[in-house]
Amino acid sequence: MLDLKQFAQNFDEVAARLARRGGSLDLEPVRALIAERRDLILEVDALRQKLNAANDDLKKKAKSDPGAIEALRGELREVSQQAKLRDERLRAVEAELEALLLRIPNTPSPSVPDGKSADDNVVVRTWGQKPAFDFEAQEHWALGEKLGLLDFERAAKVSGPRFVFYKGALARLERALVSFMIDVHTQRGYTELLPPFLVKRESMVGTGQLPKFEEDAFKTAGEHELFLVPTAEVPVTNFHADEILEGDLPRSYVAYTACFRAEAGSYGKDTKGLIRQHQFQKVELVKLVAPEQSEAEHEKLVADAEEILQRLGLPYRVMLLCAGDLGANAAKCYDLEVWLPGQRAYREISSCSSFEDFQARRAKIRFRAEKGAKPRWVHTLNGSGLAVGRTVVALLENGQRADGSVALPEVLWPYMNGLRELR
């Protein structure tokens, strides 16, 4: 959530920064409510001063002019009622403002390039050599089905479209990747968490999934409403909700969860294969940092996600997203896109975002740099380290051979009980 004080004091500047995102965001209701709030605060303050003065006058007149007491009491009641009404309206205006601010996206960082869509994103760097095959590369779903290791048909029978059964060695590969990724990240200083897969509405609001993306969420029905996590970002960031952190920052966490997304806004996209499923596994990296650490720690987080791809030998590129392609909550974002020979394209496998203090204000996460210091908002960062299903996609397509078998990277052999290939 954006800083209301900053919005009120520099409305045109904040509006100009938001305009870099494009679209048709109407900020006039916010401007009107900010002006009304300012006037109400002045009115309430003036009425309270008048009330205090009338109280003082009542005390003095009670001794010197007892006959004036009833008239003064009537004046007190009238002023008190006016103050109450103005105060009630002020609270209502502030509630309206908060509801509006919860739907307004983050402002792009000044270091984010201008642009309208993914076509305007900037290639920061590439890594690895794309495999050269002397046969026509197949897409992952064809490979998986021919190997008898992916079953979309039975998953559709059980759960509907956009679900899959992994079988045999491929199921083990998914499990192996989770362990491998977490091992690498914990060696880099991340603390492992195994969070709940169900969260409260407040937690979804805290990280910005609600209210904007409620149509993409799965939730329970009945008296106890809970949301299935769309990403471990939600429970892990909210691990410190409503807290003032003491001691050194950053706090760095890694967590595996299954993730659940209705994909309501992606009808017709990636209907085949593992790219866009309603349920998938992901290893997530989350950092809570001081504002002055934010930029450097964001770059470190990107490098930590890249390390997984490098150890697996998967070619990829790093993209800096333009203002028009940023997610609503992010101030800055790098996408890691892995090369998929079967699709002859780079596809996103990780988004590494800096939210600055946008999520911290919603989840109320602050820190105190030293004892007695005034609490400040943390900056939050997160990124996939990596999306496990998409990593399986990349391993299948990059490791495929002419005979339909798939070579596995050496770093995974110990996690696969020595298995070196899928066939």
Answer whether the bond into residue 326 is a cis peptide, omega within 30°: no
Rounded to whole angstroms, how far apart are CA atoms 316 and 338? 4
* Residue type at 162 in one-letter notation: R
Rounded to whole angstroms, how far apart are CA atoms 216 and 115? 26
* CA atoms within 13 A of residue 187's CA, in its CB half-sphere: 9
* Residue type at 243 in one-letter notation: E
DSSP letters, 331-381, are SEEEEEEEEETTTTEEEEEEEEEEEETHHHHHHTEEEESSTTPPPEEPEEE
Angle (nearest 5°) at CA 287 between 282 and 288: 145
SS3 at position 326: coil
Do the Cβ atoms of 254 and 206 come closer than 8 Å? no
DSSP letters, 106-129, are PPPPTTSPP-SSGGG-EEEEEES-
Using the structure block, give the residue that is written with the tokens 């946008």: 358
Rounded to whole angstroms, how far apart are CA atoms 400 and 418? 18
Q: Which residues contact 39 (CB under 8 A, 6 or more apart)?
A: none
Do the Cβ atoms of 182 and 203 come closer than 8 Å? no
Tokens of 404: 């339909």
Angle (nearest 5°) at CA 104 between 319 and 38: 140
* Catalytic residue list: 261, 276, 348, 351, 390
Rounded to whole angstroms, how far apart are CA atoms 109 and 74? 55
When computed from its CA atoms, the radius of gyration of the chain, rounded to whole angstroms, is 27
Q: Name the residue among 244, 121, 258, 120 with its Cα closest to residue 197.
A: 258
Answer whether the bond into residue 66 is a cis peptide, omega within 30°: no
For the purposes of burial, counting CB atoms within 10 Å of the CB of 166, is it exposed (0-12), middle (13-18) or buried (19 or more)? buried
